[in-house]
Structure 1
Amino acid sequence: MSLVKLPIWVLLTLWGVSSQYSHAEVRPLRLASAEDVEPYVYHQESGQVAGIDYEIVREVLGRASISFDLKSFPRPRISLMLQQGFLDGLLTTTAYNDQDMLETLWLSVPLYVSTVSTISRKDAPKSGSPPEMIPCVKAGILRGFSYRFPNLDISRFKNPVEVDSAEQLVKLTMYGRVDCAISEDITFMYQARKLHYFDDLQVVEEISTRPVVIALSRRIIEQNDGLGERINRLINEVREEDIIDNIIIKYLTLGNS
């Protein structure tokens, strides 16, 4: 029978059935982030969630017509809840470094690449010469952050000073309490700009890079045929449209781009 001769209601019914099975509806995902970490994901004073990672994932999953409920927990609790099936995954792998758990999850293609560097305060210029970097003997580091990188021996630094936030790390560096900070570039420079110290700091050495990805339970991927491929395709689509770069720039310029 020719499709042209079918009644319109039959065509609409067939179209609806076809659409239903082409992309089965995915239930709202229960995602976690490792506490509030500006500018990746955090709660504003209004209670609204904001951040680079939040906006990127919202854009990607929104294009896939997938909603999600986001909760912030300490890292050890996230691992336990993932093991017990109370969570469907991580918003992103930013600030979460339980490698054993990550190996059990489905990981998307990269959203962007995160860089960890040694960052130093600039000396005052001498008679018109370029600013000189202060030798890094005493380092400031973030408590709870994994510094296990192949090309970094943290023991070479004299009594590293641990702090709880990137804001404290910026202040330690600027006030001369430490010679340098070892930090992820984006969060450190974001806080430096908020504190009006951005132009007084510089990257000394790039230590490591790692991709930031969406991490989901393999159970969710297996229960929703083609979901992983669809998310990866949409990530590439969003990246090619420069949406990810523009979101990062917006936060690093404090919305003044």
Structure 2
Amino acid sequence: MKKVVVWIASVVASVLLVACGATPQKQADANSTLLEQIKERGVLKVGTEGTYSPYTYHDKSGKLVGYDVEVAEKVAEKLGVKAEFVETEWDSIIAGLDAGRFDIIANQVGITDERKEKYDFSTPYTYIYGALITSKDNTDIQAFGDVKGKKSANSLTSNWAKVAQSNGAEIVGVDGFQQAVELLVSKRVDLTINDNVAYLDYVKQHPDAPIKVAALSEDAQETAIPVVKGNDDLVKAIDQALKELAEEGILTELAKKYFGEDVSQANK
């Protein structure tokens, strides 16, 4: 009987020793901030689509590239770590951030009041304006107020269709920007309204396209890096990294590389 008691006491003591040995590590993990964990592991986990050119996509060799991809890589460098990308469909990318599958998202996430209730955002690194696009030889449309009674090619459920309608345009439904340009070039519509970045990407690939931007909206949609609330030190570190990248001209270089124009700054 004594042997049994001694054996039980020995087992209990061993369990207590193991538990005591494990507790400090668990406490350290619980007490360390996300930024500290990122630096300890040497990796910044980044959620991105990988199918959204020119922001995040695969080139002909299969390599993940794009404006957002390179911005995230440069931010990681500033933090002293490497960027590790986790490719996720857009519909589940926010949920992935909530679940901790990655630390940040670099995928043209717009800053909205609804999102700001749950996430903190870095300073913006892309400014997107509404572009009123016409054929190059069009002289009738020079401002948003000139589209009344004109035909505008837009996806029927898009925000840009609402902008065109609010200015009095008649909407001609299309599946996307490519089809809108085709209708515009063939003179079947008078204009299309879309974001200026879509326009810049298109003319970069089709430099001879007979289209132009007749006017830009005054207000910009700002896109930034979202982080789950409660990680102020990480947001501050990302902000500092973006500030340095802007001052060094790196953000401008990346923007011009992918769009031919600096979309990393707001229009003056």
Common fold, TM-score beyond 0.5? yes
Confirm or deny that 1:251 pairs with 2:265. no
- Judge conservation of contact 1:121–1:180 (CA < 8 Å) in 2: yes
Q: Would you say 1:91 and 2:111 are equivalent positions? A: no
- The residue number in structure 1 matching 2:118 is 104
User: What's the counterpart of residue 217 of structure 2?
Assistant: 206
Deviations 1:202-249 (A, max 9, x none): 233426302221112225x26xxx222111111001001111111111
Q: Secondary structure at the match of 2:171?
A: coil
2:52 paired residue number: 37
CA distance in 1, matches of 2:50, 2:151: 28
Q: Match of 1:117?
A: 131
Which has the larger Rg?
2
| Matches for 1:1-257 after TM superposition, within 5 Å | 24-26=36-38, 27=41, 28-34=43-49, 36-66=51-81, 67-74=83-90, 76-94=91-109, 100-123=114-137, 133=141, 136=147, 137-142=150-155, 145-147=158-160, 152=163, 154=165, 156-164=168-176, 166-198=177-209, 200-206=211-217, 208-218=219-229, 221=231, 226-253=233-260
> Aligned equivalents of 2:56 and 2:258: distance in 1?
11
What CA distance in whole angstroms lies between the structure 2 residues aligned with 1:154 and 1:35? 33
**Structure-1 separation of matches of 2:192 and 2:254:** 25
Aligned length: 219
Describe the shift of the 1:104–1:80 C-alpha distance in structure 2 as closer, same or farther (beyond 3 A): same
1:252 Cα deviation from its structure 2 partner:
2.6
Partner-residue secondary structure (3-state), 1:196: coil
Write the letter of the residue equivalent to 1:178: V
Contact 1:31/1:70, CA 8 A, preserved across alignment: yes
**Structure-2 separation of matches of 1:148 and 1:174:** 19
CA contact (8 A) 1:138 1:158 kept: yes
Distance 1:162 1:31, change over 3 A: farther
* Secondary structure of the corresponding residue to residue 170 of structure 2: coil
What is the Cα deviation at residue 160 of structure 1?
Answer: 3.7
Q: Percent identity?
A: 18
Q: Secondary structure at the match of 2:243?
A: helix
The secondary structure found in structure 2 opposite 1:159 is strand
Report if the CA contact (8 A) 1:119-1:205 is conserved. no
Q: TM-score if structure 2 supplies the norm length?
A: 0.67
Give the deviation of 1:83 after TM superposition: 4.2
Instruction: Sort the Cα spacing of 1:59 and 1:115 in 2 relative to 1 into closer, same or farther, 3 A.
Output: same
Gaps of 5+ in 1: 1-20, 125-130
- CA deviation vs aligned residue, 1:60-106 (integer Å, no higher than 9, x gap): 122212323231413x3223434444443321434x57763453112
Could you tell me how far apart the structure 2 residues matched to 1:99 and 1:195 are? Answer: 36
Tell me the distance in 2 between the aligned counterparts of 1:242 and 1:145: 34
Give the superposition deviation at 1:153.
Answer: 5.9
Could you say what secondary structure the match of 2:120 adopts?
strand
CA distance in 1, matches of 2:51, 2:117: 24
1:20-75 C-alpha deviation (Å, 9 max, x unpaired): x9x7350434433356232222211211122222212211122212323231413x
